[in-house]
Amino acid sequence: MIFLDNAGTTKMFRECVETYSHFACEEFYNPSAVSRQSAFVHAKLEDTRKFLLKKLGAVEGTIIFTGGATESNNLAIKGAARNGNFEYIFSNGEHPSVFNVAKNLGLEGKNVKFCKLGKNGKIDLADLESKLNKNVKLISCMLVSNETGAINEIKAISSLRDRLASNALLHVDAVQGFMKIPFSVEALKIDMLTFSAHKFHGPKGVGGLYVRKLNYIKNIVDGGGQEYGLRSGTENVPGIMAMRTAVEKIDVKKNFEHVLELKQQLNKILSGVQGIKVLDFNGSPYIEVLVFDGVKGETMLHALEEKGVIVGLGSACSAKKAGNRILQEIGIDKDEIISSCRISFNAYMTSEEIEKAGKTIIEVYNDIKKRVS
């Protein structure tokens, strides 16, 4: 089986399984208890926070461990919301765990604004600039689009924030960027950042929220006061430590270059094939969109699955809904949207797998076209 839906999830490293097992069955102690063994586990968590801060390029702040990206995004947005004459800005390209939270803020009476996307899949900076003012409390946007791979210009966004909305916090959903593309929260002047372990070969159900200053947010769930009182509940120690193992194993620069080669290889195989179109937004090499003229994307997905190639239809959080909000926003034709599949790579695939996947995609597409024509 060749798995090309890595934006949806990734296969966990064997080393992560071993780490998880150790902290689930050996060092299984509650980090909030007072025993010596618990203190040891607590120290491991604190050291992991420092380790992740370094990986993020942070010179200050902390990591709040969460159950994954959806919780992190909710905590960042709802936790930063305040009563008063404030405005909250999001893009139309956000993942449902941001976009739907934003819509609900609006239903609650908050002043919520959405920025357009350009044809390149990125946030329209001119539109963002027109919406910024001193009343803006929060700007929330993704680093890498989970649908197209487009990379937003976070440095330009933070510069606009500094000039026009200096009191606003900048929250970045980096789920498709962390451990995949090089960046630094300090260089990009990011105040809060979301990441999720299962997107970079760690376990599902664990992630984190980077926060530059703890007073930027308030808790949204009451409980025992763990995670600085911002995320109550006993920490998922096995998951957190397994996530660390995944981060330790990854070489971002080396992986980036390898995935870029894989993407270029696949596109070369598909180039010139009548009816197959690559929508490449010149962003992350990990993600691209293929359009199959005259064949529904879902039909291609299931036919490819029968041949041992797994592709995606976009965000697993919204793939069962008709259409694609992001592709529609950037002006992709409705027929092309219906005929599209998302291809997403991982850095541990081989050239041989890509060769086979490319030939299989062509074979399956041509076979379906013959049968429906």
* Residue ranges of domains in the chain: 2-9+251-372, 14-249
Told to judge if 141 belongs to the known catalytic residues of this protein, a careful annotator would answer: no
The pLDDT value given to residue 314: 60
Who has greater pLDDT, 241 or 371? Answer: 241
Q: Which CATH number fits domain 2-9+251-372: 3.40.50.620, 3.50.50.60, 3.30.750.24, 3.90.1150.10?
A: 3.90.1150.10
Q: Which of 14-28, 108-122, 129-143, 323-337 has the lowest mean pLDDT?
A: 323-337
- What are the tokens at 308? 């041992």
pLDDT at 318: 46
Residue 116 pLDDT greater than 70, yes or no: yes
Q: Who wins on pLDDT, 370 or 300?
A: 300
Q: Which residue has the tokens 């649908």?
A: 147
pTM exceeds 0.85: yes
**CB burial readout 108-139, b (16+ within 10 A) else e:** eebebbbbebbeebbbbbebbeebbeeebbbb
Strands 62-66 and 207-211: antiparallel
| Res 31 pLDDT > 60 | yes
pLDDT at 324: 87
Tokens 């002006």 belong to residue: 331
Q: Is the pLDDT of residue 12 over 80?
A: yes
Residue 319 has pLDDT above 60, yes or no: no
Q: Which parts of the chain fold into alpha helices (H)?
A: 14-25, 36-55, 69-80, 96-107, 125-131, 154-164, 185-188, 237-249, 252-270, 297-306, 325-329, 334-338, 351-372
Helix-then-strand count for the chain, H and E = 13, 12
Helix (H, G, I), strand (E, B) or coil at 177: coil
Q: Which of 16, 25, 115, 317 is catalytic?
A: 317
Pairwise CA distance, residues 35 & 38, whole Å: 5
What is the pLDDT averaged over residues 359-366? 98
Mean per-residue pLDDT for 313-341?
79
- R_g (Cα) of the chain, nearest Å: 21
C-alpha distances (whole Å) from 180 to each of 28, 36, 136, 251, 255 are 30, 37, 30, 9, 7
Q: What is the Cα–Cα distance from 118 to 179, expressed in whole angstroms?
A: 26
Contacts of 132 (CB under 8 A, 6+ apart): 89, 139, 160, 161, 164, 165, 168
- Examine the pLDDT at 65 and tell me if it is beyond 90: yes
* Contact in structure between 88 and 102 (CB atoms under 8 Å): yes
Q: How far is CA 351 from the centre of its chain?
A: 25
For the cut 50, the answer to whether the pLDDT of residue 316 exceeds it is: no
What was the pLDDT predicted at 323?
59
Return the top range by mean pLDDT from 10-14, 317-321, 366-370.
10-14
Strand partners, 271: none
CATH number of the 14-249 domain: 3.40.640.10
CA distances from 101 to 150, 299, 357 (A): 22, 32, 37
Question: If you average pLDDT over residues 47-57, what whole number do you get?
Answer: 98
The mean pLDDT value for 177-184 works out to: 98
Report the C-alpha dihedral over residues 116, 147, 58, 230, rounded to 10 degrees: 90
Percent of the residues in the chain that have a pLDDT greater than 70, as a whole number? 97
User: What does the pLDDT read at residue 372?
Assistant: 74
Let me know the angle formed at the C-alpha of 50 by 48 and 56, rounded to the nearest 5 degrees.
105
CB 157 within 8 A of CB 189: no
Q: Percent of the chain scored above 90 by pLDDT?
A: 95
Question: What are the residues facing 278 on neighbouring strands?
Answer: 290
Exposed, middle or buried, 224 (CB in 10 Å: 0-12/13-18/19+)?
A: exposed
Q: Lowest-confidence range among 59-73, 103-117, 175-189, 313-327?
A: 313-327
Query: 33 in helix, strand or coil?
Result: coil
